[in-house]
Amino acid sequence: MNAMTPQTWIAVGRITDIPRRGARIVKAPGGDIAVFRTGNDEVYALRDRCPHGNGPLSNGIVHDRRVTCPLHGMVFDLTNGETVGPDTCRAQTIAARVVAGVIELANPLYAENASA
């Protein structure tokens, strides 16, 4: 597997492994990744760490395409990691897709390097 190209995708599980409006973590180098499944079976991934107070976003309540952090209640847009409202704070996103029921994440090492 070529880890250094953006086209590298890694299968991490089936979409049915995550409850609707729920999340699970993928342990990865550089920190846990929270993989979310919305009520409409869309899948998104964020670093499992709220940039505001380090809350584990995977433990938040998912509503629409949003998640509310369990520690201090900040609400993040799953599609771009930005907080809802004017507060400026952004959770790191990781590209995710579903292929034939299998969730794939963009190679997290690549994502980490690209954002640096």
Partner 1 sequence: MSKERLVVVGNGMAGIRTLEELLARAPDRYDITVFGAEPHPNYNRIMLSPVLAGEKSFEQIVLNGRDWYESHGITLHTGDRVMGIDRAAKTVTSISGRTVPYDKLLLAIGSNPVILPIPGKDLPGVVGFRDLSDVEAMVAAAKSGTHAVVIGGGLLGLEAANGLAVNGMEVTVLHLMGTLMERQLDEAAGYLLQAELESRGIKIITKAQTEAIVGDDKVEKVRLADGRELDADLVVMAVGIRANAELGKLAGLEVNRGIVVDDHMVTSDPDVLAVGECVEHRGVTYGLVAPLWDMAKACADHLARIGGPGYTGTVSATRLKVTGVELFSAGSFGDAGTEDIVFRDGARGVYKRLVLRENRIVGTVLYGDTKDGSWYFQLLKDEEDVSDLRDTLIFGQGAGVVEQDPFAAVAALPDNADICGCNGVNKGTIVAAIREKGCCTLDDVRTHTKASASCGGCTGLVEKLLAYTLGDGYQAQTGDKPMCKCTHLTHDEVRRLILIDKLKSIPAVMQALEWTTPEGCASCRPALNYYLMCAWPGEYKDDNQSRFINERVHANIQKDGTYSVVPRMWGGLTNAAELRAIADVVEKFAIPTVKVTGGQRIDLLGVKKEDLPAVWADLNKAGMVSGHAYGKALRTVKTCVGSEWCRFGTQASMSMGVKLEKMTWGTWTPHKVKLAVSGCPRNCAEATVKDFGVVAVDSGWELHVGGNGGLHVRATDFLMKVDTEEEVMEVCGAFLQLYREEARYLERTAPWVERVGIDYVRARMEDLEIREALYHRFLASQRFEQIDPWAERASGAVDNHEFAPLATLATLAAE
Residues engaged in binding partner 1 (CB under 8 A)? 1, 3, 10, 12-13, 17-22, 24-29, 32, 35, 39, 51-56, 59-64, 66, 68, 70-71, 73, 75, 85-89, 103, 107-109
Q: Cβ(57)–Cβ(105) under 8 Å?
A: no
Which CB atom, from 60 or from 81, has the smaller least distance to partner 1?
60
Expressed in angstroms, the distance from the first to the final Cα of the chain is 22
Distance, in Å, from the CA atom of 38 to the CA atom of 81, rounded to the nearest integer, reads 15
Residue 83: CB minimum distance to partner 1, A: 11
Please state the closest distance from residue 20 (CB atom) to partner 1, in A. 7
Amino acid at residue number 35: V
Sign of the CA dihedral with 33 first, then 37, 43, and 44 last: negative
Nearest distance, CB of residue 77 and partner 1, angstroms: 13
114, two tokens: 């690209």
Cβ nearer to partner 1, comparing 32 with 92: 32
Closest distance of CB 48 from partner 1, Å: 9
